[in-house]
Amino acid sequence: MKQILSKSILYFVVFVLFLAGSLVFMGRIDYRSRFFANWQPCLRGGGGGGHLPALKVYMYDLPRRFNVGMLTHHGSNDDLPVTIKNLPPWPARSGLNKQHSVEYWMMASLLYYSESRIGGGGVSGQEVVRVSDPESADVFFVPFFSSLSFNVHGKDMRDPDTEFDKQLQVDIIKILSESTYWKRSSGRDHVIPVHHPNAFRFMRDGVNASILIVADFGRPTHIQSNLTKDVVAPYVHVVNSFLNDESSDPYESRPNLLFFRGRTDRKDEGKVRGALARVLNNTKGVIYDVGRASDEGIQESVKGMRSSKFCLNPAGDTPSSCRLFDAIVSHCVPVIVSDKIELPYEDELDYSEFSIFFSDEEASKPNYMVDKLQGISKEKWLAMWRRLKTIAPHFEYQYPPKNEDAVNMIWRQVRHKLPAAKLAHHRSRRLKVPDWWR
């Protein structure tokens, strides 16, 4: 009898340990942000995973014309190294260039989290540490502002301006191809931000093996860029975050059902916008504003998003747009109509907990979408709104960076891509017949 009893106790203990283990193992930020929201500071060791050491990143030293030189027009010394002391702030009035400024915030985070300043272990909970010895690096960061280069030099896609954008791409490929570390892996362990759909447009093939930081996969071929190797990063939101969203009844304090502001005449994926404009026209509770991005436009969006329960996010010229991230930081439940969209950190976040999805076809049917949205109960909506408030900090780019903010999330994503990059690298060194099983 005693034996049976102690056996069952043993089984029970093993079972409880197993259960606890699998809970911890599954979905990292989910368990921390939802169940243990208040305990976060004590739970978090370094590197986001609780006790993983910070990802070691070596950052190439590049002349300023590849990065911050594009922010300051008064010919600064091209060879002066960028440091935490002389890093120019992101300009306050940069307009829409800000949307794709992921490259700037990643570089800034590495300057901030440098080994010499914070030590090597990353004990304070950040995901990343900049190392000065390339031999000790897990990955290599290429601080070329390819999106800003397109916006500053290449925007009208005409010579001679665009030549400068092209030249920077040619030059960077040359620098990389001469690097021992690039050659070692064909760039597979290199991290390169190419967030604007037209960034690096002349030479993308040259960096096709690298871990690219992208907005979506609308333009490039699936060989140049795909979800296996690349990281989808949020746009940098252009509306101000809704920080004191503490209304006693947020459901009632948002009188409009659905809000959209933007252009309806988009190319490619954005054609669905025309159909949406027709089916939503003259619908009670729906605000469908046809407007261009401008400073007043942004103020209108802030008002509209904060006074609506749902915010419509149709595809633009490409599957993604900045509007989604504006909606998230406004805690306006996103309604996503974009069949080809890919979303940031989706291995860690379940977007269906705080967003609604319709296919292009569903959304184009008269009344379909509005009926569904009206059918969502207040309780369900409030749960989504609360979840939005919890996850919104993951979409903030800032300097200095903070644990769990957008750059730290991106670095964690880079870490998640590393095993596949290593696998591809190791296999490439010995395979004679590539992927026979395809």
Ligand X SMILES: *[C@@H]1O[C@H](CO)[C@@H](O)[C@H](O)[C@H]1NC(C)=O
Closest distance of CB 125 from ligand X, Å: 32
Instruction: Decide: 298 and 238 in contact? Cβ < 8 Å.
Output: yes
Closest distance of CB 412 from ligand X, Å: 21
**Binding-site member from 110, 191, 209, 337 for ligand X (CB under 6 A):** 209
**Binding-site member from 40, 226, 256, 403 for ligand X (CB under 6 A):** 226
Q: Which range, of 33-41, 226-234, 296-304, 370-378, touches ligand X by CB under 6 A?
A: 226-234
Select from 129, 87, 132, 93 the least CA-distant residue to 105. 87
Residue 29 or residue 209: which is nearer to ligand X going by CB?
209
Closest distance of CB 123 from ligand X, Å: 35
Closest distance of CB 364 from ligand X, Å: 13
Binding mask 128-167 for ligand X (x = CB under 6 A): ----------------------------------------
Closest distance of CB 400 from ligand X, Å: 34
The crossing angle, in degrees rounded to 10, of helices 102-112 and 406-428 is 90
Angle at 310 between CA 309 and CA 313, to 5 degrees: 160
Closest distance of CB 4 from ligand X, Å: 53
Decide: helix, strand or coil at residue 384: helix
Scan residues 67-106 and list those touching ligand X (CB under 6 A): none
Q: Which residues are registered as beta bridge partners of 259?
A: 287, 311
Decide: helix, strand or coil at residue 57: strand
Closest distance of CB 203 from ligand X, Å: 9
Per CB under 6 A, 289 contacts ligand X:
no
Scan residues 227-246 and list those touching ligand X (CB under 6 A): 228-229
Residue 123 or residue 223: which is nearer to ligand X going by CB?
223
Scan residues 329-348 and list those touching ligand X (CB under 6 A): none
Among positive and negative, which fits the CA dihedral 314, 270, 169, 416?
A: positive
Q: Which amino acid is at 46?
A: G
Residue 133 or residue 178: which is nearer to ligand X going by CB?
178
CB atoms within 10 A of CB 1: 5
Which residues are within 8 A (CB) of 131 and not within 5 positions of it... i.e. 6 or more apart? Answer: 56, 57, 58, 115, 120, 137
Scan residues 257-286 and list those touching ligand X (CB under 6 A): 277-278, 281-282
Angle at 13 between CA 11 and CA 19, to 5 degrees: 100
Give the distance between the most distant pair of CA atoms in the chain: 90
Token pair in block for residue 338: 């974009």
Chain residues in the site for ligand X (CB under 6 A): 205-206, 208-209, 222-223, 226, 228-229, 277-278, 281-282
